[in-house]
Structure 1
Amino acid sequence: MTTDTPKAAIVTGASSGIGLAIADLLGEEGFGLTLAARRPEKLEAAADGLRAKGYAVETVAAPLQEEEAVKGVVAAHQERYGRLDVLVNNAGVGIGANVGEISTKHLDLQLGVNFRSMVLFYREAVGALREAAKERGSSLIVNTASITGKQGEPWLSVYAATKAAVVNWTESMQKELSTEGVKSTALCPGFVDTPMTDFVKESVAAEEMMTPRDIAESVRFLLRLSPVCCVPEIQFVRPGAML
């Protein structure tokens, strides 16, 4: 059954960290939400927290690197809300390894979640995003990349390469879709205090890292822009950090 909301968004990788912070911000902005992530218990716990704030929340737990899972997320969202104004491709996984020790399983997982999933979401959601842009002047797609997508990194080489692909794909989609009002922005943060950065917190303290809310606030800024202003990429770095 369709819920009567004036605007609606899909957020992937929304059970914690940056994805949950963006979902919270979109709820504040009056969006009906569809949250998607792999682990159902963690996803429902995050959704319950957002529902307690009065937000409309749909959840779909699924392996987002799989085509049918992506189709299911978009279909469930459309059935609930009947429209799509914002798509946030935030689902991601990073698994470090030296080149001689990269496992095929971990290679395929990172390629699938970090890049393949995003392409599939674009394909399945672009029609609804075009309709929203026709109605409102613009719609928005936000893709969580990484500062590692701007420069190669040892040990995190596969992760960095997938995030470079996210940046490049975003540039391509900005050129392909923005004249129709469908904007694309890649977010490229450095270390953010999330579970994904636990591996480095012995050398970079959590309190010295950016917060998920720092990254989420950029989405509020993007929502405020006029239809004729596009921002293809935003980089987030700590004070004194070199790009």
Structure 2
Amino acid sequence: MAQRAALVTGASSGIGLAIARMLGAEGYGLTIAARRPEKLEEAAASLRDEGFELQAIPGNLSDEEHIQSVVAAHREKYGRLDVLVNNAGVGAGQPVGEITAKRLDLQLDLNLRSLVLFYRESVGMLREAGAEHRNAIVVNTASISGKSGEAWLSVYSATKHGVVGFTEAMNKELAGDGIKSCALCPGFVDTPMTDFVKGAVPADQMIRPEDIAEGVRMLLRVSPGCVIPEIIFQQPGGGLTGQPAG
């Protein structure tokens, strides 16, 4: 049984899978969660082939009962939670006069509401880990669009601004419990989420998912007295930013 454990949402590909792989290599027992069973199982198989201990739980990560079941299954398997990675998210661009309620609700529910509910359900285990080693970590995938609002991506930008703001609030609220939160704010990342723009922006000019994972690895290394509230990842010179990355 692993001495420490992590729960990663949106872990079937891209940033979430890269972070899960890094945490597995660091010796963490893993619970990985994502919406599509076939993609999640493919990711789980690749991680198991590398020798990592894990369980994979597919399902709707914007559903409150499913969120509760994911955290309960993690608790049942590992009995502890040292790192929570709220990575699941979706981006849907529309001009403001054409925003549909369905796409609005989808982004609000998965990008922001889900994150809050995962905190609520996980905070007990995080407090136990924080009491033990003062370095329980919550990683929240935001976006460079969470630092500067983007036209056409207004709802996405708003949800990612919300992620940054909630992360700041959690650092104030949970500091005494040894729980540290960090918002990841990347620009273009070479993931399936950016496939539609790769005709204009070559994948080899994008940030790599492994770059994001290395940023998270740093969070594991710093002392309990050091909080890194956010990390901004961008292309040299600033690069192009008007694109969902989380």
TM-score range, shorter chain: over 0.9
> Residue in 1 aligned with 2:104?
107
Q: What's the CA shift for 1:39?
A: 0.2
**TM-score, normalising length from structure 1?**
0.97
Q: What's the CA shift for 1:199?
A: 2.2
- Residue correspondence of structure 1 range 149-164 to structure 2 within 5 A: 149-164=146-161
* 2:237 alignment partner, SS class: coil
**Cα deviations by residue, 1:186-205 (Å, 9 ceiling, x for unpaired):** 00000000011112212211
Distance 2:171 2:66 in 1: 25
Distance 1:133 1:158 in 2: 34
Aligned-CA RMSD value: 1.0
Bigger mean CA deviation after superposition, 131-140 or 112-121: 131-140
> Residue in 1 aligned with 2:218?
221
> Residue in 1 aligned with 2:85?
88
Aligned residues between the structures: 240
* 1:185 alignment partner, SS class: strand
* Structure 2 portions without partners, runs of 5+: 242-246
Distance 1:86 1:97 in 2: 34
Tell me, yes or no, if structure 1 residue 240 matches structure 2 residue 237: yes
* 1:152 alignment partner, SS class: coil
Q: What's the CA shift for 1:238?
A: 0.3
* Fraction of identical pairs, as percent: 64
Distance 2:132 2:148 in 1: 38
* 1:83 alignment partner, SS class: coil
- Residue correspondence of structure 1 range 50-65 to structure 2 within 5 A: 50-65=47-62
> Residue in 2 aligned with 1:34?
31
Which residue of the other structure, out of 114, 118, 122, is the alignment partner of 1:125?
122
Runs of 4 or more, structure 1, over 6 Å off, are: none
Which residue of the other structure, out of 201, 205, 218, is the alignment partner of 1:204?
201
Given that 1:178 and 1:184 are in contact with CA atoms closer than 8 Å, whether structure 2 keeps it comes out as no
**TM-score, normalising length from structure 2?**
0.96
Q: What's the CA shift for 1:78?
A: 0.5
Tell me, yes or no, if structure 1 residue 170 matches structure 2 residue 160: no
> Residue in 2 aligned with 1:67?
64
* 2:148 alignment partner, SS class: coil
Tell me, yes or no, if structure 1 residue 136 matches structure 2 residue 138: no
The letter of the residue matching 1:204 is V
**Cα deviations by residue, 1:84-134 (Å, 9 ceiling, x for unpaired):** 000000000001111111111111010000000000000000000000111
The letter of the residue matching 1:138 is N
> Residue in 2 aligned with 1:18?
15
> Residue in 1 aligned with 2:186?
189
* 2:89 alignment partner, SS class: coil
* Structure 1 portions without partners, runs of 5+: none
Q: What's the CA shift for 1:241?
A: 0.8
* 2:42 alignment partner, SS class: helix
